[in-house]
Amino acid sequence: MLRRWPGVADHLVALRATGQIAAVAVCLLHADVNPDHERTVAASLRTAGLDVTCSHEVSPEFREYERTATTVVNAYLRPVCGPYVSALADAASALWVMTSAGGLTDPAGAADVPARLLLSGPAGECGRQRRWRRPTTLPPPSPSTWAVPRLMCA
């Protein structure tokens, strides 16, 4: 797929080497229905050594804007969240991370798709209010999420 645009992967690798990018988000039209082209582009970029997030892997849903926004957020968070979750997993004997939906995921899943953790603070607060034993939120609730738990748990 990238043979139509020679040098794109090399240019992205050069940008990563200078610290201008840390990851790449790949979002193609209609990838929710047929992700073959996204897979091809991602394979080319991963072969070049880039950290790639594809929209069909993160948010395989109809609507390009929402899918793209989620994919870009995931690509932005993954270089930071991945090492953080790995360090937590190394420090703990058993670690489960709460997702925005209130479910749990293993450290590998949390590091791979950190966009699913964005509202884990409110999800963790709901668990605390329902008397779960020692729920831990990741990332810690920020001031923007302090008012949300009471509304979500009502």
Domains of the chain, by residue range, sit at: 2-118
pLDDT of 13 above 50 = yes
User: Does residue 122 register a pLDDT over 60?
Assistant: no
Whole-model pTM: value is 0.74
Residues 95-115 have a mean pLDDT of 88
Residue 54, phi then psi, degrees to nearest 5? -105, 145
Q: Is the pLDDT of residue 14 over 80?
A: yes
More confident residue, 110 or 3: 110
Q: pLDDT-based confidence at 21, cuts 50/70/90?
A: confident
CA angle 147, 152, 88 (to 5 degrees): 80
Q: What is the mean pLDDT of the chain?
A: 78
DSSP H helical segments within the chain, as ranges? Answer: 8-17, 36-47, 55-58, 64-91, 107-112, 120-129, 148-153
> Alpha-carbon distance 116 to 130, whole Å?
21
Pairing of strands 97-98, 104-105: antiparallel
pLDDT for the residue numbered 121: 65
Per residue in 45-103, pLDDT tens?
898 889 999 999 999 888 888 899 999 989 988 988 888 888 888 888 888 888 888 88
